[in-house]
Structure 1
Amino acid sequence: MSKRGKTLNSQSREQVVKLFEYFERESVNGGPLLPVSQPRDRVAEALGIGKRTVTQILKEKHGSSGTEENTLSTPKKRKRDKKVVDIDNFDAAAIRNHIYGYYSRKEYPTRKNLMSSLKEVGLFFGGKSSLSKILRSIGFRYKKSDKRKILLERYDIILKRLTFLRQVKTITAWDNVVFIDETWLNANHTVSQTWTDDTAASTSKVPLGKGARLIICHAGSASQGFIPDCLLAFASKSTSDYHEEMNFEVFKEWFAKLLANLENPSTIIMDNAPYHSVQVDKPPTQATKKQEIVSWLERNGVEANPTLLKVELLNLVKATKPSKPRYVIDELALEHGHEVIRLPPYHCQYNAIELIWAQIKGHAARNNTEPPFSTAKLLTLLQNACAEVTTED
């Protein structure tokens, strides 16, 4: 029996209110909201708690036999040792270097082996969850390593990024900025996700695999949209990287056509693909034959004694070569009154045409739904998609 006059705590008082409101709803209903044959469900509904909680409390009160009369108690909260995850900067640096040590030994740090090795060196004595909190607090996450992000912070790449950003900050006529890029489309390219129950009736007819590849090159600006008559697309003859099939001669011929179709003096932004970056009279390197080094020096007005050692000839090259590389494509653009700005390596996000490629590929995916799945059909889809791209895009 309950004891009258006993003071109820705030939680118990809230339960009284819930119980009253439930009975009040039953009164309005003119009878039980749930069948009286379901007491567990009625208690859970009345008190706003889960049925599992009701079951656990009843088991604690009456035991597994259902005949006991145990005293109920408030579950104790698990004590957490806050000091385990409260580390200073010295310990944080030591744990970080300890993890780096795994990679230098060509090993992978897992939480299990870290708990053991950190304990051995006296850096950590807690449990798994505490270790996870510490690792997150010092910047580590359990995920796929982003090697591109690491490359972006390389010293020489940072310098090239700064140079590029300073160059583009001087641009005032952005309508006359032309973005160039290459991409590809596979013959079986289609939407990757849709509503399906994994039966043949709810599956597209697109074959498995990627299919043949279409290599694409184009250029666009905010004033002209895609530059007219400058779509280059051809079927790939290999399954390797598409950059390998776009050579300098093909690109140079396309680039000359592009220059002829530009309406105004423009700034052309492109990446550093090898076929973009063929140098004018490229300076020799360590791999160059000695006689070729001598010939290069003589072409550049330097008397080179063939009896000199190769290392001495290369030192003359170093003193003679221009401070910046001279690219064939850049000088071709300059002859027509245009300027080329090159993206820093690994920074495709600075090329606005990447967003247009997403639009193009989305169009092709949504419309590539029935046979034939070929590069010829894909070329038609590509041409239609390009025709829909506007200057506003």
Structure 2
Amino acid sequence: MRSSIILFIFALILLSCSQQKQDVIIQKYFEAFNQSDFKQIKKYVDNDFVMSEGDFKICSSVNDLQTVFKWDSVFQPKYKVLKIVQTDDKVEIEVSKIDTRVAYLHDEPMISNVSFEFKKGKISKQIIKDYKYFDVKKWNGRLKDLRDWINLNKPDLAGFDRDITLNGAKNYQKAIDLYASRDLGLEENIFIDKDLQLVHLKDSVFVHISWSDSEQYGKFPSNGLIIAQDGKAIMVDTPMDNDKTEDLYQYLKDKMNIEVTLLIPGHFHNDCMGGITFLHSKGVNSIANLMTIQKSIELGLEAPKESFEKQRGIDFYGEPIECNYWGGGHSFDNITVWLPDRKILFGGCLIKNESSNSLGNLADAVVEEWDDTVEKIKSSYTDVDYIIPGHGMYGDSKLLDHTIALVQDFKLKH
């Protein structure tokens, strides 16, 4: 009886040691992938090693695995074992993976549940069972956009995503690099949906146009600005509500790989900051005139986070941006946003488009200052390529003269 107990305890010890050894082998196996060291990988796998994803067999030998390894190494993978659970005949793990391909198509690491089987102390099978975290919609959407762009602009790289060889991986990475650095100016007008549009203005600057319904004005457009640099963007004014702002934000992120990091609202009305709550929920910072913030708090609205009074300069990844308060006009708090390197001035609702024959909404207007305010802008910016009004078609410095004339005509009649 005593010898049976000893043998049983000894067997448990051997099983525990075997399990610990398998855990170590799995860790070292992934470390070898992280270090691009196939010689180490060969130490841990059986000659008849099989890797599969569900019912799809990826490889069925060490030689096949080496082909997969070479393809995978191009993207500089980083694997991390998050959890290991030992069963009677298998080791179940949870592993995360990030690499240049995953980062581009998915933003964050993908996490999978993987089963390992062993034979004579080596890994004989690796089965990817399912994914704990994998945004298939985002992945497929970005991959489709990448494929479509490559097929149109770089047809010699077509099929890059179906070639599981070293050369295929190099083409895949080249496709990503080319698409990420593409000239956004080739896409002049982008219709996101019936109520949202992006119009390429200059370099990586876009006007975003959103349409809304009003009992007084019917269906009307509102303008804002997107200034993109190094995969990040400043949004000047939001669409009028959170839903349209979310659609714009997600399009920029999912389709153009641009993440909005800062909002600059031109004044406190909802055609400037109607989507601020959504942007704040995404961690986007916001900068506004102090009076805009004070009025927002007074009205119980979500307020911008940072303030300035007269002028605020921003260095956005080497792109200088100037926010200025010149005086009252469409509202008491309206500002302009100036891009000196691009000679682009966002005037917002302070400036009227050339087809406007009235001053529009005067509920919060400071008409007595309005023309003087625009005169200050006109004398400060004598060399402007584009001026973007809050509503309607953008233009050049003629918009300033037109706005001054409208204000002065209004004063004469009232």
- TM-score class, shorter-chain normalisation, is under 0.3
Higher strand share: 2
Q: TM-score, normalised by structure 2?
A: 0.23
TM-score in terms of structure 1 length: 0.24
